[in-house]
Structure 1
Amino acid sequence: MRRLPILALLIACIIAPSASVQAEPGKHWQTAPDQNGWTGDAAKAVTAYAGAYRPTALAVIRDDHIIASAGDLSRRVNVASVRKSLLSALYGIAIAEHRIALGDSLQKLGIDDNLPALTVDEKQADVRDLLMARSGVYHPAAYETADIRNKRPARGAHPHGTFWFYNNWDFNVLGTIYRQASGEDIFSSFEKRIARPIGMEDFSARDGRYVLSPLSRHPAYPFRMSARDLARFGLLFLNRGRWNGRQIVPADWVRQSTAGYSPVPTRKSAYGYLWWSLPSESWGEGAAMAAGYGGQFLAYIPTKRLVMVQTVDPTQNPAGIHMRDFMALMQQIVTAAP
């Protein structure tokens, strides 16, 4: 009779779903052995792509191994709007620790801006609205591109929560709220709470900076990061926020933040909480992407256990790389992967 609990445990281990099996790299990334020849095809595709488009670094990861790469994976570059997905992970931790609440309004948090200041209606937007880029606050912002500036709606054009607009004001204010609520610098917090626990090799808090503008009191917060460190971040999300048995980012936040709430047909994706959610009919369930100006991309595909990263240093490639070209390579590799 005393053997029954042991037998039950063995059976449970045998029938446990394979999706729960996780793999993380050690101190340094390893190269994968050939898997039925498809990795050789992936390496050829990556080499051809790198020759044509000139990324600074490009890597394809399966489980905990690099199966194909090009360029300098250790070179740190400004990953542009990928910063938003990095901040989203910190929000997941802060919300779980009850330091920030999704329903807290700008008014409750004491958020305002330079003249013309926020209206009473604008201050009703909450943290969830900001994460979804639906604040309805169309105040000038730091670190805006000319395209976003030109497309920005007029003040008061849409009530909060009703209209999606890729709005740097929302993203920058999230940085202010995080620093205010946590009492921590964004970059030091990321190093302590995420980079060190998952073994990033190159990132430190010195790789972030704040960018101010006379138009707004809320700075942008660009990160410099290497492709191999960005790949670890992608693998963390592929593994539902766990690393070596430790829950770094709450699993429910990984699911919530990468779900699609606002369809964006021009991107063939939907916007989540500072992430782009990829359509399941093309990429399988749970696939998501972080994207930044000039060709900074991180994507993970759970159904194929794949992570893909690309960085582009504008001093090496001023023209950058368009998302459609990176996604064409993604599609080629995802289709080939068993």
Structure 2
Amino acid sequence: MKKRKWLLLFMFCGALFFIGRHTVYMLPVFTAGAAKITCSCYFVGKRTLSSIQSDELSHFPLNMNKIQIDKESESVTASLFGLGQRKAIYREGVGCTLVVEKSEEEIRSQKMSIPLPLPYDPDTLQWPLGNLIDSAVFQEPKYQTIKEVAAKAFLEKNPTKPVNTRAVIIIHHGHIVAEKYADGYTSKQPQLGWSMTKSFSNALIGILVKEGKLKLTNKGLLPPWKNPKDPRYEITLEHLMNMTSGLQWDESYFSWSPVVEMIYTKADMSSFAASFPLQDNPGKKWKYSSGTTNILFEIIKNATGTDYHLFPYKKLFHKIGMSQTMIELDASGKFVGSSFGWATPRDWARFGLLYLNEGVWEGEQILPKEWVKYSRVPSPQAPNSVYASQFWHIGSDAPSEIPADLYYAHGFEDQRVIIIPSRDLVIVRLGQTHFENFEWNDFISSILVALEK
């Protein structure tokens, strides 16, 4: 065992050498990533350490980390061969935060309003606001077939490249017609959506537009951009929504890059992202950017003031029954809207159902009347029409059997909330598909075929 450990250390050092001049920066990134994901999966996701090590920490170099969980202080530390130690701390109601650029004491002393529990018990109310499911509603053969399709999403065709599906929910005509979980996961267990969190910004911005606090044509969106002589003054809210701001950015995760620096080394992620200069004229080119979404959350912060930490819960999550949803904070106390949204599979499904219903929930117009229609129109700057307004779209080169109106929230390792208005359908699939080998077209096509029976 000792021999193997030293061999791995030698390989790790060799790998770092070949990374290049940013080697010194990558070591704490590896440990920060291990500390953060372990903390969140353990304290928010209610997972065991062995489960986390088998999945999230199973690949090099994360599997080289030494992990220490302190249940008393609710924190996790990670280090690689005693080097680059990083810590993440858990706070009730706001999740896990990396200790970077601020002390643990500073972070823990932050004052903020934490959302109160729902005034009702979801387990006593019918779906979709509550968790009671009428299993007798759909007994038609086609729904039995859909249950079989859902079960196939958990099959492993190649044990060396597992798809690792953890949850599937299929909603037709507003009802859950299929729901399945992997061993060790339940309907009440929050799961990380990664970049599916970005789509929350679409709803929150929409609510602020409805309230008259924001307009898509607004310019000079942040204090450093308010001078008309600053080229960033011309960036509109719509540019940010469509990922066409023109800001310099690199979304590479496997070497030192702005997104890696932001997520794993910066206390104030949105201010860091907003500090970059223009690379292109606003509205001219599409560039996917987690930094852009964190800037959107900075704009949400400025528009909501002292209500900031309660705003997503009061105006969105709790209104539509998303009782176990959370967006974690960075070390400055701001939402990490690009990446760190947690929700139960049913909560993710509720979010999709809100969009399927054109922003209406139990008779209340949560989003502006034309907002969902606007969100479904792909940006002309996005390649093959695949993106707009913090949602992904099926694109112009999709297979013919996939409906052209399909759009979805998408997260790392193939988390998706898929909305297909023409079929009155929402599909949620959560997992940890490290090899990008989940067969989406076959999965969606099988569901559509079943519905036609």
Q: 2:130 aligns with which of 17, 21, 27?
A: 27
Flag the structure with more relative contact order, 1 or 2, with Cα contacts below 8 A and sequence separation at least 6.
1
Is this contact kept in 2: 1:172–1:220, CA < 8 A?
Answer: yes
1:148 and 1:119 mapped to 2: Cα distance?
31
Q: 1:310 aligns with which of 406, 410, 429?
A: 429
**Which residue of structure 2 lines up, in the alignment, with residue 145 of structure 1?**
253
Q: Which moved more, 1:281-290 or 1:63-72?
A: 281-290
Is this contact kept in 1: 2:243–2:289, CA < 8 A?
Answer: yes
Is 1:276–2:379 an aligned residue pair? Answer: no
**Which residue of structure 2 lines up, in the alignment, with residue 247 of structure 1?**
365
Is this contact kept in 1: 2:221–2:299, CA < 8 A?
Answer: no
1:255 and 1:300 mapped to 2: Cα distance?
13
Tell me the CA shift for residue 151 of structure 1.
11
**Which residue of structure 2 lines up, in the alignment, with residue 202 of structure 1?**
324
Deviation per residue, 1:107-163 (Å, 9 max, x gap): 353145xxxxx982233211111000000111578xx734794999x9644211000
Is 1:96–2:207 an aligned residue pair? Answer: no
Alignment-mate amino acid for residue 109 of structure 1? L
Is this contact kept in 1: 2:167–2:345, CA < 8 A?
Answer: yes
> Where does structure 2 lack aligned partners over 5 or more consecutive residues?
1-125, 157-162, 261-275
Alignment-mate amino acid for residue 223 of structure 2? G
Deviation per residue, 1:314-338 (Å, 9 max, x gap): xxx4x43637523431222123213
Deviation per residue, 1:200-252 (Å, 9 max, x gap): 2422xxx3222369xxx987332111110010111111010111111111231
Alignment-mate amino acid for residue 367 of structure 2? V
**Which residue of structure 1 lines up, in the alignment, with residue 330 of structure 2?**
211
Q: 2:336 aligns with which of 204, 216, 220?
A: 220
Query: Aligned with 1:164: secondary structure?
Result: coil
Tell me the CA shift for residue 64 of structure 1.
2.6
Alignment-mate amino acid for residue 299 of structure 2? I
Count of matched residue positions in the alignment of Structure 1 and Structure 2: 295
Is this contact kept in 1: 2:193–2:341, CA < 8 A?
Answer: yes
**Which residue of structure 2 lines up, in the alignment, with residue 115 of structure 1?**
none
Deviation per residue, 1:59-85 (Å, 9 max, x gap): 111123221122123211221111111
Alignment-mate amino acid for residue 124 of structure 1? E
1:148 and 1:325 mapped to 2: Cα distance?
31
**Which residue of structure 2 lines up, in the alignment, with residue 295 of structure 1?**
414
> Where does structure 1 lack aligned partners over 5 or more consecutive residues?
1-22, 113-117
Q: Which moved more, 1:47-56 or 1:168-177?
A: 47-56
Per the normalisation by structure 2, the TM-score is 0.58
Per the normalisation by structure 1, the TM-score is 0.76
1:245 and 1:137 mapped to 2: Cα distance?
40
Is this contact kept in 2: 1:24–1:244, CA < 8 A?
Answer: no
Aligned-pair identity in percent equals 23
Q: 2:142 aligns with which of 38, 43, 52?
A: 38
**Which residue of structure 2 lines up, in the alignment, with residue 174 of structure 1?**
296
Tell me the CA shift for residue 24 of structure 1.
6.3
Q: Which moved more, 1:83-92 or 1:36-45?
A: 36-45
Deviation per residue, 1:161-185 (Å, 9 max, x gap): 0000001221111010111112256
1:92 and 1:146 mapped to 2: Cα distance?
33
Is 1:69–2:182 an aligned residue pair? Answer: no
Is this contact kept in 2: 1:212–1:220, CA < 8 A?
Answer: no
**Which residue of structure 1 lines up, in the alignment, with residue 353 of structure 2?**
235
**Which residue of structure 2 lines up, in the alignment, with residue 11 of structure 1?**
none
Tell me the CA shift for residue 263 of structure 1.
6.4
